[in-house]
Amino acid sequence: MLKECPQHGYFRADACPVCGHAGRFLMNDRELDHLGRVMTGILRHFPDRYGLTIDPQGWVDLPELVRAIGRKHPMYHWLRPHHLVAIAETDAKGRYEVRGERVRATYGHTLEVDLDLPTDRIPERLYFPVTAEESAIVLEVGLKPSDRKKVHLSKTAADARAAGRVRTPSPVILEIDAVRARETGIVIMQAGKTVYLADQIPAELLRRSEDDGSSGDEAAADAPDA
């Protein structure tokens, strides 16, 4: 359930987690889930299906996005820009960014976009999940984008493990030397709360992580999504 507290803003719960106020109702869980999927699909993959154009940095005008969704899904005739802002600001994974009257996805694109995301405060080590079958070849040739335009790296081994379990029950976690990567001119950007992007990672900056996986379930909610 998505609501708004008059003092503490938007939240996803029955009551404000800060003050306990019941808040103003914005949408139910079914609407929240569906609209989130629609919004993510438009901003990452298929704006043309909704008659929209994304600018080179991935931005879409919020009022135009609201009108496009309303045309395609008439049951959302009540939708207004603040509803989409609420979805973006309460997203646990940090998948969206809102600036004024514009919104964009921060990662997961299959479209060509030139994201101007933060490149400071990058951790010294980042992580990436692969299957056991993939591990040897990736350690030999490095990481390159497959179904997305960027390589998506995780902040911790636990985050990477949670992401990898979408594909395999026991992912192999690779560790990236982010310090050396940046020293060699590789740009690494922070995209979500636990997601980082790079064009590619050479094999010499990869090694198999020594993390034993004991805390793997803790970060499941922050795994990079499809």
The rounded mean pLDDT for the chain is: 91
- The structure's pTM equals 0.83
pLDDT exceeds cutoff 60 at 214:
no
Q: Are 107 and 150 in contact (CB under 8 A)?
A: yes
**Where does CATH 1.10.10.970 sit in the chain?**
2-105
> Which position has the token pair 């004991």?
214
CA distance linking residue 186 with residue 189, whole number of Å: 10
* In the predicted structure, residue 222 carries a pLDDT above the cut 70: no
Instruction: Kindly report, residue by residue over 89-132, the tens digit of the pLDDT.
Output: 999 989 999 999 999 999 999 999 999 999 999 999 999 999 99
Residue 19 has pLDDT above 80, yes or no: yes
User: What pLDDT is recorded for position 57?
Assistant: 95
| Residue closest to 225 by CA, chosen among 96, 125, 121 | 96
Task: Check residue 225 and give its pLDDT.
Answer: 57
Query: Is-contact 118 109, C-beta < 8 A?
Result: no
Q: How far apart are CA 87 and CA 95, in angstroms?
A: 10
What CA–CA distances, in Å, run from 155 to 173, 188, 202, 219? 12, 12, 18, 10
Mean pLDDT of 196-207: 96
Mean pLDDT of 25-33: 97
What are the CB-based long-range contacts (under 8 Å, 24+) for 44-48? 44/105, 44/108, 44/109, 44/110, 44/111, 45/109, 45/110, 45/111, 47/111
Report the distance separating Cα 98 and Cα 84, nearest Å: 9
Give the pLDDT band of residue 220 (cuts 50, 70, 90): very low
- C-beta of residue 56 within 8 angstroms of C-beta of residue 39: no
CATH code, 2-105: 1.10.10.970
* CATH no., domain 125-219: 3.20.170.30
Residues of the chain with CATH 3.20.170.30: 125-219
Q: What is the per-residue pLDDT across 120-173, written as a single tens digit (0 to 9) for each?
A: 999 999 999 999 999 999 999 999 998 888 999 999 999 999 999 988 899 999
In the chain, count H helices and then E strands. 6, 12
pLDDT at 213 (0 to 100): 53
3-state secondary structure of 136: helix
Residue type, 155: K
pLDDT at 215: 42
Report the pLDDT value the prediction gives residue 122, as an integer from 0 to 100. 96
